[in-house]
Amino acid sequence: MAEEPESVLQLPPSTASGGEGLSEVSPETVTPEPPSSAAVSPGTEEPAGDIKKKIDILLKAVGDTPIMKTKKWAVERTRTIQGLIDFIKKFLKLVASEQLFIYVNQSFAPSPDQEVGTLYECFGSDGKLVLHYCKSQAWG
Amino acid sequence: MTDDRDVLRDVWFGRIPTCFTLCQDEITEREAEPYYLLLPRVSYLTLVTDKVKKHFQKVMRQEDISEIWFEYEGTPLKWHYPIGLLFDLLASSSALPWNITVHFKSFPEKDLLHCPSKDAIEAHFMSCMKEADALKHKSQVINEMQKKDHKQLWMGFQNDRFDQFWAINRKLMEYPAEENGFRYIPFRIYQTTTERPFIQKLFRPVAADGQLHTLGDLLKEVCPSAVAPEDGGKKNQVMIHGIEPMLETPLQWLSEHLSYPDNFLHISIIPQPTD
């Protein structure tokens, strides 16, 4: 079986900044990444810098935390860390009472109300924000 | 300079006279008297209000008490924002004392984070410090510290011990001899008039030509509406720790002297008060 290319999927839109509802999302507005499965029209021009509504996040598991099958996500800038945590927990089928910690730069855990857009601005590199997630406190 | 060190002390020991009143909706067994307290500008509400909590719980039944939360004129107060920031942003144009309403029920889940323990405050504080150092020194300085140094920062902060805190924090204010400042300045700009919680971006303290960037340079770059030219005299106040620093102040100096203990410059943009 050929290795499935990393696909950039849409994080489902949230109704409130924290609330999550998983729904089928069409990939038509996916940010340009190489996967063959996503229907990205080559003519789509990605507006530069701040105007880009979504940012790319790469999720990495720490320790024995389950690994997400899809690691790359296009996320709205205003999505909060709590919103992301709720989404990952649902995706990994974790119980609500189980904790999940998210780290930036493998050094600090941003506040749950932090917007990913701000984190991307300050700590993104190579066009994406890398976030490590863990069921226990990894970096204090 | 001795003067500069005095600034550090003035910032650390800033206080806001506050009057805490129990919300009228709360059920009490006796009349609840207001409670007066001087709040440290640089601390967090849930860290310094144990006495407030005890005072009001004395007149309430156990079953009517759940997590305490605070509100000012209808706005729930985020415990994870420094007290001085909350005051400057929401109440600086009002007369003292700052009148805060205390609640023990109907916790506003959408507006506030829970504060389950002192450990949660410590975790938040240390995370802010780490984020600040990620910007200033690519985390090198804070990561080189031992666990006991981190503990000393927290204990010094929690116990209002200026010297204990700054014995370690001074290392976070240093920069390589060949540079003229930090890599990027940790700052957050808050306005009540916008949807976004705050503005935080990468901004260097020194320009390519070696000139020191000023507070005015920062605002022009990341929040130009705040310092818009006089159109009908609608200029805003740019406030840190209750004062309006001159816009010509070098940002590097502000970062070293007017940061909060979390090493961030928390800047409020507020409408000019109309007296």
Q: What is the DSSP string of A88-113?
A: HHHHTT--TTS--EEEETTTB---TT
Q: Which of B122, B183, B181 is nearest to B147 (CA)?
A: B122
| Contact residues, chain A, for B130 at CB < 8 Å | 107-108
pLDDT for A53 equals: 86
**At how many degrees (to 10) do helices B162-172 and B147-158 cross?**
130
SS3 B3: helix
Average pLDDT along chain B: 94
Q: What is the ipTM of this complex?
A: 0.93
Please say if the pLDDT value at position A26 is more than 50.
no
Interface membership of B134 toward A (CB under 8 Å): yes
Query: Which of chain A's residues have a Cβ under 8 Å away from the Cβ of B126?
Result: 140
Those residues of chain A whose CB sits closer than 8 Å to some CB in chain B are 16, 18, 78, 104-105, 107-113, 115, 118, 121-123, 140
CB neighbours of B109 closer than 8 A, spacing ≥ 6?
A: none
Q: Collapse the DSSP code of B206 into the 3-class scheme (helix H, G, I; strand E, B; otherwise coil) and give the result.
A: strand
| Percent share of chain B, pLDDT over 90 | 87
Residue B112: per-residue pLDDT? 97
Task: Write down the pTM of the prediction.
Answer: 0.88
Q: How far is A18 from chain B (nearest CA, A)?
A: 8
Token pair listed for B51: 């006495």
pLDDT tens per residue, range A72-94 = 999 999 999 999 999 999 999 99
* Nearest beta carbon to residue B197 from set A104, A107, A115: A115
Beta-bridge partners for B98 = B18
CA A21 to chain centre: 15
CA-wise closest residue to B271 among B188, B186, B214, B194: B194
Residue B10: both structure tokens together: 């003035």
